[in-house]
Amino acid sequence: MFWYSWQLTLITLAILAVIVTMSILIVPLIRARLNHRFSWAHATRRFSPNTSPGWIQSSPCRWSRNEGAYGDYLSSYLVAGFNTRQLSNTYSVVANALEQLMTLLILCGGAWIVMQNAAHHRHAGRVPDVRRAACRSRCCAWSACGRSFSRRRSR
């Protein structure tokens, strides 16, 4: 891509640098939230009753005493999981939006560069103007043509 257009390469590298920087900053946060979620999962499993097929192996007295603590641990585990997924989804949405912005800028920038190059070549005389080409097809030489480019009504 660099050989085609250095401007488009700079656009791509700039947006990729933003995505990489954002990834470097977000990964430790996601890792910390995952560790927090796993610690709450461990605490929740510690208070859950041991179940076997068909019956519970914990004493009813212990279960009734810790029922409130189990609910607290379970709700904390669910909140930690939600916060982890929310951060991960937010990062994903922003990264995808930046990738789509990069695609849009490459398309628009590429079209702009092509139009600028065509205008430059047209002014340099390498690409004929459409009106000149139409006039040349009707006249034997450009210099011999006395027509103007505006449409006149013939009487």
Is pLDDT at 148 greater than 50 in this prediction?
yes
This prediction has a pTM of 0.61
Residues 26, 80 contacting (CB under 8 angstroms): no
Q: Rounded CA gap, 26 and 18, in Å? A: 12
Per-residue pLDDT tens for 51-91?
A: 444 455 554 545 555 566 777 878 888 899 999 999 999 99
List pLDDT tens digits, range 4-30: 788 999 999 999 999 999 999 999 999
DSSP one-letter string for 39-85: HHHHHHHHHSPPEETTEE-S-HHHHHHSHHHHHHHHHHHHHHHHHHH
In the chain, pLDDT over 90 holds for what percent of residues?
A: 37
Q: Which residues contact 73 (CB under 8 A, 6 or more apart)?
A: 40, 43, 44, 46, 47
